[in-house]
Amino acid sequence: MNEEIRLNRIATAFEDLEYPVRPPAVAAACEGVVVRLAEGTVEIDEVIAESNADQFTSSEDLELEFLNLLPRDAVGEPFQSDGDA
């Protein structure tokens, strides 16, 4: 797979996997998929390689782990909120 997706579409990269799934299988299935962040890009396989999880039981579980592994500024400026105006 050589594709680029936006962060808000990350669930589409995980929806066709068979669950439960282990991190190495996720990395292999998502190799070459680049996710555009607010500040730069990351590759799914490289992010998932940092996971300490034994397995993911659902796409929601995998998505949460992926989001938790992203750098702090992945979705915008830290400590900023659109509601704080």
Q: What is the mean pLDDT of the chain?
A: 87
Confidence of residue 71 (pLDDT cuts 50, 70, 90): confident
The residue-averaged pLDDT of 26-46 equals 93
Measure the N-to-C terminal CA separation of the chain; round to a whole number of Å: 41
77 located within any domain:
no
Q: 83 in a domain, yes or no?
A: no
pTM score: 0.82
Does some domain include residue 80?
no
Domain that holds residue 21: 3-69
C-alpha distances (whole Å) from 20 to each of 3, 16, 36, 82, 84 are 24, 12, 26, 36, 39
pLDDT for the residue numbered 23: 96
Contact 4, 34 (CB under 8 A): yes
